[in-house]
Amino acid sequence: MNSEIELDNIIEVINKAQKIAIFTHVSPDGDAVGSSLAFYLGLLQLKKEVSIVTDEFSRCFGFLPHLVDIQREVDDCYDVSIALDCATKGRLFDPKNSFGRSNVTVAIDHHASNTYFAKLNYVEGNSPATCKTLVKIFKRLGITLTKEIGSCLMAGIITDSGGFRYNTVDDETFEFAASMLDLGVDISDIYYRTFDVKTKAQFQLSTLATSRIKFYAKDRIALTYVTLDDMKKTKAMAGDHEGIVNVGRNIEGVEVSVFLREVDKEFYRISMRSNDYVDVSEVASLFGGGGHSRAAGCDIHENLDVAIKKLVKETTKVL
């Protein structure tokens, strides 16, 4: 369906609804938490009765407003349930399976891989963040952007765009950031709290992985790994490995960065990143994985040495 007609329908059902629930993906990141809270505050402005449901998230978002309103589960029947920043039904955090029990389900997202699992879906695959996509929707709903709403939206935009780094950041994103500064949103502070600060466990895990980066194929491949034992020793939590794969990618001369994470005995989850020309999704697909040309992943059921050898061999072929 034409996405603008779908958006018209979403605006209409939200306008008509009284009781609305907001959901997002498991392991919520800055864009999940930020978009959920911003939408929650926006719908309160419109005098709706709103529930907001998320799983536990990083303490770094502790400065965001209205965190105490967030529930871990809801069991009611809603006029509309909205899934934010969630690409598939399977990724939705919904312990009581209440999302599908609403009269209407809506999904708003920026993942190009979104499966359109709701009744009404609005997906902007080229948006840097769901929070950025919400700006347009808030305008349509007549929600006034406040400093509180703006802080939530900037938390999502900063974290999901890598600090305005990715090429999904468009002129509207920068213009929105400018308007949020004018509104008094402390972008520099949000940047520091949500993007720069690492827990000691994250820092130690990253340092461990970084210190054991090895180079292959005349330094064009950088490869490292973390084991379950590393996670235990550093007291790392789920998600604390995020970003480690970028360290290798940012070393001059490196075309492909490979990161292996042990998830079980002889079971490694692989992330691959390339810079200029290697299609890492091709390499990942050889191991039953996939992704994009510059960012892909797969699982390998082997011991560490064999997994590394296979990855280096196949990556070297496409260099």
Shortest Å, Cβ 9 to its own copies: 31
Nearer to its own copies, 97 or 179 (CB): 179
Residue position matching structure tokens 């009781």:
19
The burial class, CB within 10 Å (0-12 / 13-18 / 19+), for 218 is exposed
37 or 157, CB closer to its own copies? 157
Q: How far is the CB of 18 from its own copies (least distance, A)?
A: 37
Closest approach, Cβ 38 to its own copies, in A, equals 19
Q: Kindly give the pairing relationship between strand 290-291 and strand 295-300.
A: antiparallel
Q: Smaller CB distance to its own copies: residue 178 or 306?
A: 178
Shortest approach of its own copies to residue 144 CB, angstroms? 19
**At a CB cut-off of 8 Å and minimum separation 6, what does 271 contact?**
245, 258, 259, 261, 295, 296, 297
Q: Measured from the CB atom, is 94 or 160 closer to its own copies? A: 160
Smallest gap from residue 194 Cβ to its own copies (A): 12
| Neighbouring residues of 288: CB distance < 8 A, sequence distance ≥ 6 | 298, 299
CA distance 271 to 243: 10
Which amino acid type is present at position 257? S
Using the minimum distance from each CB to its own copies, give the nearer residue, 187 or 272: 187
Closer of 107 and 256 to its own copies (Cβ): 256
Smallest separation, CB 273 to its own copies (Å): 12
Sequence-ordered list of residues with C-beta below 8 angstroms from that of 193, at least 6 positions apart, any chain: 60, 61, 63
Q: Residue 156 and residue 190: Cα distance in Å, rounded?
A: 10
Nearest approach, Cβ of 129 to its own copies (angstroms)?
A: 15
**CB closer to its own copies out of 115 and 246:** 246
Alpha-carbon distance values, 228 to 88, 198, 267, 316 (Å)? 28, 20, 11, 27
Q: Which residues bind its own copies (CB under 8 A)?
A: 59-60, 163-167, 169-175, 177-179, 181-182, 186-189, 191-192, 196-200, 203, 207, 210-211, 213, 219, 246-247, 250-253, 275
Rounded to a whole number of angstroms, the minimum distance from the CB of residue 152 to its own copies is 18
Would you say 128 or 289 has its CB closer to its own copies? Answer: 128
Cβ distance to its own copies smaller for residue 54 or 58: 58
Q: DSSP character for 279?
A: -
Element spanning 262, H or E: strand 256-264
Q: Could you give phi then psi for residue 22, rounded to 5 degrees?
A: -115, 130
**Cβ contact 133:140 at 8 Å:** no
On whether the CB atoms of residues 165 and 174 are closer than 8 A, the answer is no
Residue 157 CA neighbour count, 13 Å, CB half: 28
**Least distance to its own copies, CB of residue 150, Å:** 13
